[in-house]
Amino acid sequence: MNYKERRQLIYELIQTNKIETQEQLLLLLKTHGATATQATISRDIHALHISKVPDDDGRSYYVKAPSAAVNRERQLREAIRDRVATVTAVQFTVVIQTSMKLTYAPILAGLIDDVENDDIAGTIAGTDTLLVIMKNNEAAQEFADWADAIVKDRKVY
């Protein structure tokens, strides 16, 4: 199951169940044939704009946060502007280092995964470093140049 299918399943599960914890969500995903880690689920929750709300009994559960249409590319530009220290293209990959050793790489990876860009094959995130795997060297250089321009000129939108 790819991340888009998993996220669609998460969305459906929170619509039909009162899920109070990520552990409950992981178990439900597993019963539907999807395996994931807690870190992956956290990134999915963020990307889907899911938040916890209290019910009448005071217990909190996950719901899709009501919001206006989300401009994913704008969100990504803002995240790069605010949190990225360096961007380096290495052949068909782009290495992104977040600023000040922040644990922001998984969130940034989720934002990159959500942007419509056919040249992006996927992302791998650590704590403060992110690897964006592109389909070819040229696409990696273009993405790196775009992101680096945002980092260097914090006014680029």
Of the three residues 45, 64, 83, the one that is the final residue of a domain is 64
In which domain, by residue range, is 43 found?
3-64
Nearest partner of 52 among 65, 70, 71, 43, judged by Cα: 65
Task: Note the pLDDT tens digit of each residue in 41-95.
Answer: 988 888 888 888 877 777 888 888 665 445 778 888 988 998 899 999 999 999 9
Nearest partner of 52 among 10, 96, 22, 90, judged by Cα: 22
Task: Note the pLDDT tens digit of each residue in 17-36.
Answer: 999 999 999 999 999 999 89
Task: Give the number of domains in the chain.
Answer: 2
pTM, full prediction: 0.58
In a domain, 8, yes or no: yes
Q: What is the SS3 assignment for 75?
A: helix
Nearest partner of 76 among 104, 106, 48, 114, judged by Cα: 114
**Under a CB-based contact definition with an 8 Å cutoff, are residues 46 and 5 in contact?**
no
Answer yes or no: do 79 and 42 share one domain. Answer: no
